[in-house]
Amino acid sequence: MLDHLRYEARWQDWSREDGSNVTWNNDYIDPEDIRPWTKAQKRRRAELAAESCDIDIWGTTDIVNTATRLRAQAYEEKLENRRRKPLPSLKWEMDRLMASKEAEGEETGPTLRTTPARREQTRRAMSIAESVTSNQSSVTLRSGSVSTIPSTPTVFGTPPHSAKFSDGENASTRKSHAAFYRSREPSSGPSSSSRSQPGRIPRKLSKRDELQRKWTQAAKRSRAASITIANDIDNELLPPLVPNFEYLESEFRYSSRIPVPDDTELFVSCDCDICSSASVCSCQEPSELWNRVGRKSYAYTSEGLFAFNVPTGVEVIECNKFCKCNFKTCPNRVAQRPRDIPIEIFKTVYCGWGVRAPIDIQQGKVLGLYTGELIHRVVADALEGDDRAYIFDLDGQEDPNSETPEGLDAYSVDSRKYGNWTRFLNHSCSPNVQVYLVVYDTIPERNTPYIAFVAICDIPPGTELTFDYNPAAGKTSKKKGKGKGRATIPEGTKPCMCGTAACRGWI
């Protein structure tokens, strides 16, 4: 290993008490001899610099620690590069850049807009960095932050049906969405092993980085975009999760009590080259989605956006694996396509962890599916309190005025053990996202549709994504407030902290 090349001097007229007489002597090193080593160090510094803006300086006693010295050098080089080319290198910006590149199919990225606030952040970070490197004191330098204030979402549509989250946790008051800041968790000092082995350069991933990487890898296996995690509010590193929580981008995990169906013979499929008309696309025969003149209709526009034409309780039937049409180009395959919006799970001020995206989201954009363990409704109904907080009942086709069917063909999705980013979506009484039901890998008669999330308005980058956990309730309940008209909080619910003018007071 190049890191372990040793240039030693053996002294003839000197030795230590233990008899050893070898020392290092840099003067004897021929630069030509150590060229590979120098190159390897340079490469390593570049890696460190690329890793993050955070540079840890662990005090003067540690100056022989290879990792520290390399990091410090890497940082200096990085600062130097920034002075020459002051593009912010925050991961947030990189995600945004990558996402817009992906979205636009560009070879090269668009120019990043640097706001005055952002430039000030960068300038401050750089001046702190300079004082740190010159003082060599024991300080951890953190990255700057993004200052974008999310705007209040506008509501364009009415959620189409009553699929709802059951609720159970406690939460404190929420007033408004704060400006969000991209911060990084505190870096910890060097491990004892890195101190004792100066030749080794540990690559230490934080718990948050590890989880991000794991979830992004899981998402990538479904060809979906990245997942990042951020906390600008407090020191909580990660959202609370059960041990061994498994990230599941795009399908249900069937509980051991529910057999995975094999309905191969029962699927209705189409022979279309291009599914341009729902009325001739034979897989649409079971569909109850009609247009105003009584003809079968697709749920999507030709641009692949949700058309908001699906009445409450109607399931969207997309083309399936037995259809002849092309997976990538068929206009009736939208919810089943991999998610192309990068997602950030972030800590909110009043509602625990929530979800936002670093890029613009267009009205009608289908964002993803609620995943988790598919369980019988009777099992879900037996849960209480916090255990119900991540249960989504597949009751979108049920009559809200009749008793909830307790039979075995009523299901819920439980995202406590398995799930994806959608389990972090918070409730708002004035949401910017809504849900609809969609099937493509099961037949509609199974009653196990996916719950798909769609943007009901254009959503600027960094705005929290929220949906109404119980849209049917909104129509009947009164607003929160004092005196007359004050909402009574129904039993089993808890106060809503969405902070919007339309807040009904409970979720």
* Binding stretches for ligand SAM (CB under 6 A): 165, 167-169, 171, 239, 351-354, 389-390, 423-424, 426-428, 496-498, 507
How many residues in total does the chain contain?
507
Is residue 446 helix, strand or coil?
helix
Per-state percent for the chain, helix, strand, coil, to nearest 5: 25, 15, 60
**Token pair 């948050």 is at which residue?**
208
Cα-based torsion angle of the residue sequence 331, 362, 293, 286 in order, rounded to the nearest 10 degrees: 50
**Nearest Cα to Cα of residue 118 among 47, 182, 163:** 182
Q: Looking at beta carbons only, is 300 or 421 nearer to ligand SAM? A: 421
Give min distance, CB of 278 to ligand SAM, in A.
34
**For 312-323, what is the HEC assignment?**
CCCEEECCCCCC
Q: Looking at beta carbons only, is 62 or 395 nearer to ligand SAM? A: 395
Q: Looking at beta carbons only, is 96 or 388 nearer to ligand SAM? A: 388
Distances (CA, A) of 356 to 85, 212, 268: 29, 15, 37
278/290 Cα distance (integer angstroms)? 9
Give min distance, CB of 260 to ligand SAM, in A.
25
Give min distance, CB of 469 to ligand SAM, in A.
7
**Token pair 């190159």 is at which residue?**
39
Amino acid (one-letter) located at 175: K
Give min distance, CB of 424 to ligand SAM, in A.
4
42/2 Cα distance (integer angstroms)? 12
Which two structure tokens, joined as six digits, stand for 124? 């401050």
Q: In sequence order, what DSSP letters do the residues of 61-111 get, joined into one string?
A: GGTT-HHHHHHHHHHHHHHHHHHHS-----HHHHHHHHHHHHHHT-SSPPP
Amino acid (one-letter) located at 398: E
For ligand SAM, which residue has the nearest CB? 352
Q: Looking at beta carbons only, is 264 or 488 nearer to ligand SAM? A: 488
Which two structure tokens, joined as six digits, stand for 13? 């007229």
Do residues 95 and 342 touch, judged by C-beta distance below 8 A?
yes
Give min distance, CB of 373 to ligand SAM, in A.
14
Give min distance, CB of 29 to ligand SAM, in A.
56
Give min distance, CB of 244 to ligand SAM, in A.
17
70/33 Cα distance (integer angstroms)? 20
Which two structure tokens, joined as six digits, stand for 168? 């159970």
Q: Looking at beta carbons only, is 41 or 428 nearer to ligand SAM? A: 428
- Residues with active-site annotation: 370, 469
Give me Rg for the CA atoms of the chain.
Answer: 28
Give min distance, CB of 315 to ligand SAM, in A.
23
268 DSSP 8-state letter:
-
Which two structure tokens, joined as six digits, stand for 370? 């609620």
498/507 Cα distance (integer angstroms)? 9
- Helix residue ranges, H only, 85-179: 91-104, 116-135
Amino acid (one-letter) located at 488: T
Is residue 123 helix, strand or coil?
helix
Give min distance, CB of 156 to ligand SAM, in A.
20
Q: What is the maximum alpha-carbon separation in the chain? A: 104
Q: Looking at beta carbons only, is 319 or 351 nearer to ligand SAM? A: 351
Q: Looking at beta carbons only, is 169 or 381 nearer to ligand SAM? A: 169
Q: Looking at beta carbons only, is 465 or 496 nearer to ligand SAM? A: 496
Q: Looking at beta carbons only, is 433 or 498 nearer to ligand SAM? A: 498
